[in-house]
Amino acid sequence: MGRPVVASDPEPEFPHAIGHIWRWFQEVVRGVQGNGFSYPVITWTELDCWASRTHQEPTPLEAKTIIVLGVMHANIMSEKPTTDGGKN
């Protein structure tokens, strides 16, 4: 495990070669409904519906990446903010 990220760290360069996956993720996650108890994750069914409706054909690897991004997004959004500046 590396050191924690701090606000003064420079932002990493955006990986333009896979920017389309990020844009697809943003489209899909906007349409995912939660249950009110936690942040929603992208399911294979929702991804398939999005692909069908938008006439996109993500490769299996691109689809898996969108699913993983969805889980990561839900986990990050569910984190409780620290009130002590991250000291505890």
Higher pLDDT, 87 or 15: 15
Domain annotation covers residue 69: yes
Domain containing 74: what range? 19-32+40-78
Residue closest to 71 by CA, chosen among 40, 47, 33 = 40
Number of structural domains found in the chain:
1
* Residue 88's pLDDT band (cuts 50, 70, 90): low
d(CA 88, CA 3): 15
Q: What pTM did the predictor assign?
A: 0.76
Domain annotation covers residue 53: yes
74 Cβ contact list (under 8 Å, min separation 6): 38, 39, 40, 41
Domain annotation covers residue 14: no
pLDDT of residue 62: 97
Domain annotation covers residue 55: yes
pLDDT of residue 60: 97
Is the model's pLDDT at 9 over the cut of 60? yes
Domain annotation covers residue 59: yes
Distances (CA, A) of 56 to 27, 41, 61: 12, 20, 14
At 36-81, the pLDDT tens digits run: 777 888 999 999 999 999 999 999 999 999 999 999 999 988 887 7
